[in-house]
Amino acid sequence: MKKSTQNLLLVLTLLATILWFAGSWWYYSCIIKNTCDGLQITPKQGIQVTDSDNDGLSDSEEEKLGTNPQQADSDHDGIPDNEEVGSNPALPLDTDRDGKINALDTDDDNDGLTTIMETKIGTNPLLSDTDQDGFSDFEEVGRHPKTPVDTDGDGINNALDTDDDDDGILTHEEILLGTNFLLADSDGDGLSDSIEIGESIDKPLDSDHDGIIDALDANDNNSDQDNDGLSDQVEALINTDPANPDTDGDGIGDLEEVGKNINSPQDSDLDGIIDALDTVNDSDSDSDGLSDSLEEKLGSNPANPDTDGDGIEDKEEIGENIDKPLDSDHDGILNINDSDDDNDKLSTLYELQIGTNPILVDSDGDGISDFKEQQILKEKEASKKIGRKVSKEGIASNNNLQNDKNDKNAITIETFGKPSKNSIQAARIYFPFRSANPKLTKNAADYIAKVVSWMKKDPKNIILLTGHTDNIGSKRMNLALGFKRVVAIREFLIQKGANIKQIELVSKGESQPIASNKTKKGRWKNRRVEISPYLNNKNRNTKDR
């Protein structure tokens, strides 16, 4: 054999050997191990399948489905295509049956909230009514999905809360009963719906047998065998004696000792026993919610609801723990007896008047004490030879605002947004500092009249009043103050002829500011009641909410 022929055979043998090794490696890696990027191999068939985006769906499958083979999440909702398609690409998931498969649908349950938004707020993106209370997530979340509505302020947004008003009755049960699922006391008679419904949802109480259940009947005639002003039903709930008008025999009637709020009877000495059951002397000479005996222990004046005259009542200054009364500046003098709670040489009363924080030496945290800043301010004013002018805070008249220069207790009003068909504009009513019982300006009075007229057109039209405050004082105090403000506006509406059943109340306290609390103008804007009209509220299944 010629030498050239031998060389050729040698080269061919070497080439065949290399190809054999390469083929063996490819078969092992791609067919057996299936580790080749962008390729899926079916061992039995030996078919090569391209998956460009590595989402578990082949490019050909994605082309048939209409998804993007170059993107693992075609609809950008945070869920990969293969997960949204489901286990059978031939029958891809379409949860809301709108003809658009989930992998291409940004709102998989068609409830008006995008899948990615529902993932953020915790609702189920595949259920239009996550809490199964009869209202879609979109309706319950409200106008601002990033801050979903939480009517009862329990930290659970309405779309996830099965009891939106925290009255002990589930929202879907209230719908069946006809009570207001956003109001703990539907008929506004001072008794919560849960008390007036009684033990059985199936047989709600109707004390006067007029066909209207007690929870909806502000004039129900509850039996009161001892004629003390508390129904036998209520007395049974708070454990007082329905046959004795003075259960603890201390000479003060049960009604007076229970107080204005049936759901939270008075406990003046904070010993865990309500006054109506407490045989210990719990007389409260100054009606500040603290018994005389307790005030004597604390060193406060039992005849003065604000012992130190700083503008904050004694009960508020004690704090939440009676065993550890507040002493903000740790000077050995309790806040209840201290006219300067932060010991910054500015009285608490003065700080409340100028808007600084009475329990912080440096309210704005700029390293300069409130006292020093006041001195600097006075020096600047003196150097410019100008007198102190009363600050006139407000918004220009073209924003529908009007201030009353001669009355510091007057409120101002600002309308905003566009009214929907047959509805009226929403509005913000701004309050003077610490005021819960203001006077109406002409603009505000005119707006209130328009609201009442609109409410009278249809008994299903409702008004939601939401109370807000600045951040001066404690959260608990501000929550109460916000509620006092909505009650005050409700009274204006009722005086003009509004039906109380068309008015809903909620307080957010200091939790939802719309401006900075570091400035007077900002604090003024945060002291407000927002009036929101809801058109023809038949069943809350509209998107007007």
Q: Are residues 424 and 458 in the same domain?
A: yes
Query: Which among 436, 458, 444, 453 has a CA at the least distance from the CA of 544?
Result: 458
141's tokens: 């979340």
Task: Please give the backbone phi and psi of residue 22, each rounded to the nearest 5 degrees, phi first.
Answer: -65, -45
- Report the pLDDT value the prediction gives residue 409, as an integer from 0 to 100: 58
- Report the pLDDT value the prediction gives residue 101, as an integer from 0 to 100: 94
- Interatomic CA distance for residues 340 and 333, integer angstroms: 10
Q: Which residue has the tokens 């912080």?
A: 360
pLDDT 10s digit of each residue in the chain, 545 long?
556 677 777 777 778 778 777 766 655 555 444 555 444 444 444 556 799 999 889 999 999 999 999 999 999 988 999 989 998 999 999 988 999 999 999 999 998 999 988 888 889 988 888 888 888 899 888 888 888 999 888 889 988 888 888 888 888 888 888 888 888 888 887 778 888 888 788 888 877 667 788 888 877 656 777 888 888 778 878 888 888 898 888 788 888 888 877 778 888 777 778 888 887 766 777 777 787 877 888 888 888 888 888 878 888 888 877 778 888 888 889 888 888 888 888 888 887 767 677 888 887 777 888 888 888 877 776 665 444 343 343 333 333 333 433 445 577 888 887 776 678 889 998 876 554 456 778 888 888 999 999 999 888 889 999 999 888 877 777 777 787 788 888 888 988 899 988 898 888 889 999 999 888 888 888 889 999 988 765 434 333 33
Is residue 478 included in any domain, yes or no? Answer: yes
Count the Cβ atoms, other than its own, within 10 Å of residue 544.
Answer: 13
Type of residue numbered 520: K
Is residue 426 included in any domain, yes or no? Answer: yes
Which residues span the domain enclosing 332?
Answer: 292-383
Is residue 420 included in any domain, yes or no? Answer: yes
Q: Are residues 447 and 500 in the same domain?
A: yes
Last residue of a domain, which of 331, 350, 383? 383
Count the Cβ atoms, other than its own, within 10 Å of residue 349.
Answer: 16
Query: Which among 253, 187, 177, 251 has a CA at the least distance from the CA of 222?
Result: 187
Query: Which among 203, 201, 281, 273 has a CA at the least distance from the CA of 240?
Result: 273
Last residue of a domain, which of 383, 413, 437? 383
CA of 105: how far to CAs of 52, 85, 145, 266, in Å? 21, 11, 19, 55
Q: Are residues 351 and 437 in the same domain?
A: no
Is residue 317 included in any domain, yes or no? Answer: yes
Is residue 287 included in any domain, yes or no? Answer: no
Last residue of a domain, which of 356, 383, 410? 383
- Report the pLDDT value the prediction gives residue 471, as an integer from 0 to 100: 87
- Report the pLDDT value the prediction gives residue 352, as an integer from 0 to 100: 72
Is residue 247 included in any domain, yes or no? Answer: no
190's tokens: 């001072």
**Composition of the chain by helix, strand, coil, percent to 5:** 30, 10, 60
Q: Are residues 353 and 407 in the same domain?
A: no
Please spell the DSSP secondary structure of 189-251, one letter per residue.
Answer: SSS-HHHHH-S-SSS---TT-SSS-GGG-TT-----TT-SSS-HHHHHHHT--TT-SSTT-SS
- Report the pLDDT value the prediction gives residue 23, as an integer from 0 to 100: 67
Q: Are residues 376 and 406 in the same domain?
A: no
Q: Are residues 348 and 440 in the same domain?
A: no
Q: Are residues 370 and 442 in the same domain?
A: no
Is residue 351 included in any domain, yes or no? Answer: yes
Q: Are residues 442 and 351 in the same domain?
A: no
Strand order in the sheet with 426-430: 412-416, 426-430, 528-534, 462-468, 503-509
Dihedral of alpha carbons 333, 337, 338, 341, sign: positive
Q: Which residue has the tokens 């809350």?
A: 540
Q: Are residues 415 and 481 in the same domain?
A: yes
| Contact indicator for 230, 258 with CB cutoff of 8 Å | yes
Is residue 326 included in any domain, yes or no? Answer: yes
- Going by their DSSP bridges, the two strands 462-468 and 503-509 should be labelled as parallel
- Report the pLDDT value the prediction gives residue 70, as an integer from 0 to 100: 93
- Report the pLDDT value the prediction gives residue 514, as an integer from 0 to 100: 92
- How many domains does one find in the chain? 2
Q: Are residues 379 and 404 in the same domain?
A: no
Q: Are residues 331 and 451 in the same domain?
A: no
| Contact indicator for 218, 189 with CB cutoff of 8 Å | yes
Look up the CATH number of the domain holding residue 517: 3.30.1330.60
Q: Are residues 300 and 361 in the same domain?
A: yes
User: What's the start-to-end Cα distance of the chain, in Å?
Assistant: 97
The angle formed by the CA atoms of residues 452, 185 and 154, to the nearest 5 degrees, is 105
